[in-house]
């Protein structure tokens, strides 16, 4: 595989993970977490674990983001800490 591509994806995963922790806007954190899941999905696909990548894309990036957003809409949107 192209190692540059893997490297960029790895850096993006770390940035998404830290961003999801730092961001005050909870919907934004959910979206960043979805981006994190999607990057993980790409990494699984690069490593040849296609079934895991499929599960990560459908569960991690798809449904769990909807559940996060649905939960955030019932609370206050900005975190206090």
Partner 1 sequence: MKSFGIIAVVLCGALLIYGTVDFPDWGDPTSPASTHVSPYYIEQAIPDTSVPNIVTAVLADYRGYDTMFETAVVFAAGIACIFLLRSVKKDTPRTKLYRHIPTGVTIRIEKGGKVPHGSDDFERIDSVWVPYDVIIKNGCRLVIPFIQLFALYVIAHGHHSPGGGFQGGVIFGAAIILYALAYDLRTAKARLPIKTSVLLSSTGVLIYAGTGALCILLGSDFLNYSALAGLLGVDPVTARSHGILIVEIGVGIAVMATMIWIYYILSSVGKNDEGL
In the bound complex, what is the minimum distance in angstroms from residue 8's beta carbon to partner 1? 18
Contact between 7 and partner 1 by CB under 8 A: the answer reads no
Contacts of 2 (CB under 8 A, 6+ apart): none
| Signed CA dihedral, 44, 13, 9, 30: sign only | positive
Give least dist CB 50 to partner 1, A: 4
Q: Does 66 bind partner 1 (CB under 8 A)?
A: yes
Between residues 8 and 63, which has the closer beta carbon with respect to partner 1? 63
Contact set for partner 1, span 32-51 (CB under 8 A): 47, 50-51
Question: Within 13 A of 14's CA, how many CA atoms are on the CB side?
Answer: 5
Closest CA to 12 of 30, 35, 31: 35
Q: Is 10 in the site for partner 1 (CB under 8 A)?
A: no
């Amino acid at each position: 595989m192209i190692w540059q591509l893997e490297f960029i994806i790895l850096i993006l995963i770390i940035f998404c993970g830290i961003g999801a922790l730092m961001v005050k806007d909870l919907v934004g954190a959910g979206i960043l977490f979805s981006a994190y899941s999607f990057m993980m999905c790409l990494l699984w696909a690069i490593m040849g674990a296609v079934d895991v990548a499929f599960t990560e894309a459908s569960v991690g990036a798809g449904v769990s983001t909807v559940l996060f957003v649905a939960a955030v809409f019932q609370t206050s949107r900005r975190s206090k800490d």
